[in-house]
């Protein structure tokens, strides 16, 4: 079963960290990526640019309307994702729990529908 791990955190908190602390976070993520790869569960993953770079589009009166930023103002923003493959939810949760973002943020673990787009 493939699961997406959606990483939510406070961007402000990260951006206001001293450079050294940011380096530590980066290093922790590199180690986590390596662990996922070594465990044979990693299928995909990326981190995202800050949410102010996002555009939200929706259809209004038959026309595409573009607005800036994410849909709603929240304390935590989507900052990145992984796709991993494990046999059960518990295994997926165990992997997600090792993600450095768990300190101060939260992770959503959600099965992929498995329908695919290709």
User: What is the rounded CA–CA span in Å between residue 98 and residue 91?
Assistant: 11
Cβ closer to another protein: 31 or 108? 108
Enumerate binding residues for another protein (CB under 8 A): 1, 3, 87-90, 92-93, 110-111, 113-116
We find the least distance from the C-beta atom of residue 49 to another protein, in angstroms, to be: 29
Cβ closer to another protein: 76 or 91? 91
**Residues 86, 41 contacting (CB under 8 angstroms):** yes
Cβ closer to another protein: 37 or 89? 89
């Amino acid at each position: 079963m493939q699961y997406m791990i959606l990483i939510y955190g406070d961007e402000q908190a990260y951006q206001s960290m001293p450079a050294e602390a940011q380096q530590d976070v980066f290093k922790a993520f590199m180690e986590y990526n390596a662990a996922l790869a070594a465990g044979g569960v990693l299928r995909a993953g990326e981190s995202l640019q800050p949410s102010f770079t996002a555009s939200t589009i929706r259809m209004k009166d038959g026309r595409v309307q573009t607005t800036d930023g994410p849909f709603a103002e929240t304390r935590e923003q989507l900052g990145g994702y992984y796709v991993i493959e494990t046999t059960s939810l518990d295994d997926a949760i165990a992997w997600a729990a090792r993600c450095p973002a768990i300190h101060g943020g939260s992770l959503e673990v959600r099965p992929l529908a498995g329908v695919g787009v290709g």
